[in-house]
Amino acid sequence: MSNTPKTLFDKVWQSHIVVQEDSCPAVFYIDLHLIHEVTSPQAFAGLKARGLPVRRKSRTVATMDHVIPTLSGKLAVIDANAQKMLDALEQNCREHDIVLFAAGSGREGIVHVIGPELGLTQPGMTIVCGDSHTATHGAFGAFAFGIGTSEVEHVLATQCLLQEKPKTLEVVFEGMPGPGVTAKDIILALCAQIGIGGATGHVIEYRGRVIDAMSMDERMTICNMSIEVGARAGMIAPDETTFAYLKGRESSPAGNAWDKAVADWELLKSDAGAEFDKRVVLDLSSLAPMLTYGTNPGMGMQVDGKIPNPDDSDTASEKYAIGKALDYMGLEAGQAILGQPIDVVFIGSCTNSRMQDLRDAASILKGAKVHPTTRTLIVPGSAAVKAEAERTGLDKIFIDAGAEWRNPGCSMCIAMNGDALEPGQYAMSTSNRNFEGRQGKGGRTFLASPLMAAAAAIRGCVTDVRELIENPVSGQESAPASDTDRETRR
């Protein structure tokens, strides 16, 4: 029995089952519970109504990210309701003695950025948060998934959840992509290939040479968007890159405990011959930079392609969906997407707000100016990322280019804090969701990588970033056609 080859997921799953009764979901143990202001108040209220304590406060960590303002200076919270949520979180953490990284504490940030950064996220753990992008932490070989508020209450009260065992999906990336094609492009390509329901009910393990070669920041971008194909979680087996990242972090094991931990972590990989329920292979060798054209993350295309025609759809429902999306986006079927004007560039969110993302953006923006009609917001994922970016001078590059350099938070990814698109505006965003109204009512979102977003910031329109990488020139002279382009395309 113990000789049966196991997947990485199977190993983590089995070691966290507390009780498994027949025809019932498992009582499943949670190692780390991250909470934030939006999905926790009702859970604490439920706890209070039953007079229950938080079972393991040491396994519970809170931050404020969704509604906090990102402008410097006084923290003017957007409205009374947002303030109420922040107050409730503070009060609940005080009452239950839970560590809270409050805004201004220096350790705050987007929940999925600070977990790894503080070394809280570790291989083999089970991690939950009332937020669907909890999948991010799977980059460390953890089984990490989003839960609803009732489940937040369950974990607070019992440190456990009721879980049905998900199926497994092996995603294999073949080949190495060329310059200008990043982790974000790869995951957008997967979304486009299998669609937003393509992995429902499954936990993905990402594999391939390109994954082995990725930094932790890049792996987090990949795992982050697992939920955009409907997956329960996404995982990557931990390796030397993972260990090097974690070594010496605030909550990482130290001394002898470190060596012991690494020895355990090294076992966390799928055994040779382990069987997955499903397998998808994606060849990356000719992948171009990607962006979305529609209103879900699966509606993606290569930047040098043509906007799809609903009439070419295989099914009536797909035809309807693409037609509806193009209508909302104000785009014309069959046209090139290059040159499409962009009003706002947003570089941030738990998908792309870490140091590597900011370095990518800076590599394009260095010595350049953002286009005068393109507002550009750069929002670091955490206070630590912000400090590091400032220590290494990235902030200066951004500010000199004419971009807004903000404080950490979710910001325009979800537009709950006042950073929002106006109706009809086009954004190129490094976030993860282009649903109707996601970045502000009536706003229209193109999802792309930090490189692509920076290129759009300079030219004011959808641009193939490879042009800027191949001929690195500074300033707007690099885009002779863009102004006329903007005029004719408006």
Partner 1 sequence: MKAFTEVQSKAIAIAVDDIDTDQIIPARFLKTIDKLGLGKSLFADWRYREDGSETPDFVLNKESMSGRSILVAGNNFGCGSSREHAPWALWAWGFRVIISTSFADIFRNNALKNGLLLVEVSESIHKALLTGDSSDTDAVLRVNLEEQTLSIGDNNTISFEIDAFSKKCLLEGLDQLSYLLSFQESIEKYESERPGS
Residues at the contact surface with ligand SF4, assessed by CB under 6 A = 65-66, 110-112, 131, 133, 349-350, 410, 413-414, 431-432
Q: Does 285 bind partner 1 (CB under 8 A)?
A: no
Selected binder of partner 1 within 41, 115, 177, 460 (CB under 8 A): 41
The 119-158 site mask, x for binding partner 1 (CB under 8 A), equals -----------xxx------------xxxxxxx-xx--xx
227-254 in b/e form (b: 16+ CB < 10 A) is bbbbbbbbbbbbbebbbebbeebeebbe
Q: Which is nearer to partner 1, 166 or 380 (CB)?
A: 166
Selected binder of partner 1 within 207, 371, 375, 433 (CB under 8 A): 433
Q: Which is nearer to ligand SF4, 125 or 410 (CB)?
A: 410
What CA–CA distance (Å, rounded) separates 4 from 455? Answer: 49
Selected binder of partner 1 within 2, 23, 256, 471 (CB under 8 A): 23
SS3 category, 273: coil
Q: Does 232 bind partner 1 (CB under 8 A)?
A: yes
367-406 in b/e form (b: 16+ CB < 10 A) is ebebbeebbbbbbbbbbbbbebbeeeebbebbeebbbbbb
Q: Does 209 bind partner 1 (CB under 8 A)?
A: no
Q: Which is nearer to ligand SF4, 308 or 348 (CB)?
A: 348
DSSP 221-242: HHHHGGGGGT-SEEE----HHH
Q: Which is nearer to ligand SF4, 136 or 252 (CB)?
A: 136
Residue 320 amino acid letter: Y
- Give min distance, CB of 207 to partner 1, in A: 22
Give 277-281's long-range contacts (Cβ < 8 A, gap of 24+): 277/167, 277/168, 277/169, 277/202, 278/167, 278/168, 278/169, 278/170, 278/202, 279/169, 279/170, 279/171, 279/172, 280/169, 280/170, 280/171, 280/172, 280/190, 280/193, 280/194, 280/198, 281/172, 281/174
Cα distances from 44 to residues 83, 92, 179, in angstroms, run 17, 7, 48
Q: Which is nearer to ligand SF4, 184 or 486 (CB)?
A: 184
Q: How many residues bind partner 1 (CB under 8 A)?
A: 67
Q: Does 246 bind partner 1 (CB under 8 A)?
A: no
Q: Does 39 bind partner 1 (CB under 8 A)?
A: yes
List interacting residues with partner 1 (CB under 8 A).
Answer: 18-19, 23-25, 27, 29, 38-39, 41-42, 45-46, 50, 55, 67, 79, 81-82, 84-85, 88, 130-132, 145-151, 153-154, 157-162, 164, 166, 196-197, 200-201, 227, 230, 232, 296, 298, 317-318, 320-321, 324, 414-416, 423, 433, 435-438, 441-442
